[in-house]
Amino acid sequence: MTDVEETTTTLPLERKCPFSPPPEYERLRTESPISRVGLPSGQTAWALTRLDDIREMLSSPHFSSDRQNPSFPMMVARQIRREDKPFRPSLIAMDPPEHSRARRDVVGEFTVKRMKALQPRIQQIVDEHIDALLAGPRPADLVQALSLPVPSLVICELLGVPYADHEFFQTCSSKMLSREVTVEERMTAFEQLESYLDELVTKKEADATEDDLLGRQILKQREAGDADHGELVGLAFLLLIAGHETTANMISLGTVTLLENPDQLAKIKADPGKTLAAIEELLRVFTIAETATSRFATADVEIGGTLIRAGEGVVGLSNAGNHDPDGFENPDTFDIERGARHHVAFGFGVHQCLGQNLARLELQIVFDTLFRRVPGIRIAVPVDELPFKHDSTIYGLHALPVTW
Amino acid sequence: MKIIADTGKCVGAGQCVLTDPDLFDQSEDDGTVIVLNAEPEGDEAEENARTAVHICPGQALSLA
């Protein structure tokens, strides 16, 4: 399909300051809040920049998440599967009513109460990694010492994936999310991780126990008489990637931001009761997983006064929405006491992040423990030399040298 | 003020429980909302109910 429509803006737009959204977002929101943009896939789509429009689009039943549909707006070149290897169903790519059923099957694993029950084990994991950090050489890379291993271990234990394989799945994950690799490299990483999880689920099916999430899902499916191997592989894939990569990046970005804002850090050190509010603010200001809020229209529908026609793609620029002055007063100010929980960093609508309460808990334990046990922690290089992930679908830090 | 929950629309995100665990809980089975106190009294509880309605991703909560 040749798209001859001319657009003046092509996504993704670049962050000029590592702590702020791309400056172009403000211009778009002011001059053309719902505009036609070009995408790296060669497609053209609508870009939404106002908070209310994004929330409305994400909660409308007239938009689809089906990533296999050619109308879905892709931020990287589309991956084509061989016909004998169809894509596994994944929660993020399903629509109601199939999505509603599939999400209900697993969401009970992620309730606020279930997450709280994990607190002692997460605290232990964090303490062990801070012990090792303090015993090791200075400077140390916080990404490798804490940010990446903590959520990786937690999600491995929850799912029942051997942590010994972490280098393999972390490498696959970063290749899949990189904008710098070729389509073939990305596809290879995808297929390798999928084959690995296919085998793992097969092993678990032979000896399913209540000890881990995948085992419990297998037993639950059997009891209901609707065993679905492919769906379990898709679920394992999504939870493993989303469960470690996003939280890891927020640990690193949050640590840098709090160290760069000592007045704000002092407030949570004095009163850890403020940490959760600080986490909501960090989620808002960074909005690291912006491409999760893309959809395409399944009917002609009006959003914010603009007619979106059936089949047109829409990219909800959630980082623009999270800096919309109509949604947040002084949106560019980092204020841990803002108390604004209506941001869309976890998305909105039926697909809002399944693991959000696990992410909040991990971030809370990490920040409280890190700044209490390593009070003298500081960044070991000038901030403008830090390798921010401008090249990845999920924003974050490749490395974070710290000393104390 | 009366809180009305539509469990058919609930997506189990738990945002309401985070907002006020005295007003809301989640089903252990499928994560859907359980209203513990449908008639909040006092400024703080009423404000929490309004926040929960506003941030509910499935728009499963309303006030009457």
Residue A85: inside a domain, yes or no?
yes
Q: Cα separation of A395 and A76, whole Å?
A: 15
Residue A276: inside a domain, yes or no?
yes
Residue A334: inside a domain, yes or no?
yes
Q: Domains in chain B, start-ordered, CATH in brackets? A: 3-63 (3.30.70.20)
Q: What is the mean pLDDT of chain A?
A: 94
Q: Cα separation of A373 and B29, whole Å?
A: 38
Tens of pLDDT, residue by residue over A112-149, are 999 999 999 999 999 999 999 999 999 999 999 999 99
- Structural domain including A207 reads 24-403
Which residue of B12, B25, B55 is in closest CB contact with A341? B55
Residue A28: its pLDDT value, please?
A: 96
Q: Cα separation of B16 and A383, whole Å?
A: 37
Tokens of A19: 């702590």
Q: Which residues of A touch B54 (CB under 8 A)?
A: 342
* Nearest C-alpha neighbor of A108 from the set A260, A236, A186, A220: A220
Element (H, E) at B35: strand B33-35
Q: Cα separation of A98 and A76, whole Å?
A: 26
Confidence tier at A162 by pLDDT (50, 70, 90):
very high
Which residue of B26, B32, B51 is in closest CB contact with A113? B26
Q: Cα separation of A216 and A403, whole Å?
A: 42
Confidence tier at A78 by pLDDT (50, 70, 90):
confident
Asked whether the beta carbons of A376 and A320 are under 8 A apart, the reply is no
Tens of pLDDT, residue by residue over A181-235, are 998 999 999 999 999 999 999 999 999 999 999 999 999 999 999 888 999 999 9
Residue A290: inside a domain, yes or no?
yes
Give the SS3 label for residue A188: helix
Residue A6: inside a domain, yes or no?
no
The answer to whether residue A274 scores a pLDDT higher than 60 is: yes
Q: Cα separation of A62 and A254, whole Å?
A: 35
Interface size A-B, in CB pairs within 8 Å, comes to 71
Residue A180: its pLDDT value, please?
A: 87
The one-letter amino acid code at B51 reads: T
pTM comes to: 0.96
Domain count, chain A: 1
CATH code for the domain in which residue A396 is found = 1.10.630.10
Q: DSSP assignment of A91-117, as one string?
A: GGG--TTHHHHHHHHHHGGG-HHHHHH
Which residue of B13, B32, B54 is in closest CB contact with A352? B13
- List all residues 6 or more positions away from A167 whose beta carbon is below 8 Å from its beta carbon: none
Confidence tier at A76 by pLDDT (50, 70, 90):
confident
Confidence tier at A87 by pLDDT (50, 70, 90):
low
Q: Please give, rounded to a whole number of angstroms, the shortest distance from the CA of A39 to a CA of chain B.
A: 27
| CA distances, B57 to each of A165, A372, B11 (Å) | 35, 34, 7
Comparing A2-11, A176-185, A321-330, the range with the smallest average pLDDT is: A2-11
* Nearest C-alpha neighbor of A45 from the set A67, A23, A75, A65: A75
Residue A81: inside a domain, yes or no?
yes
Asked whether the beta carbons of A366 and A248 are under 8 A apart, the reply is no
Residue A81: its pLDDT value, please?
A: 64
Residue A87: inside a domain, yes or no?
yes
Confidence tier at A86 by pLDDT (50, 70, 90):
low
Asked whether the beta carbons of A280 and A29 are under 8 A apart, the reply is no
CA A239 to the chain's CA centroid: 11
Q: Cα separation of A264 and A117, whole Å?
A: 29
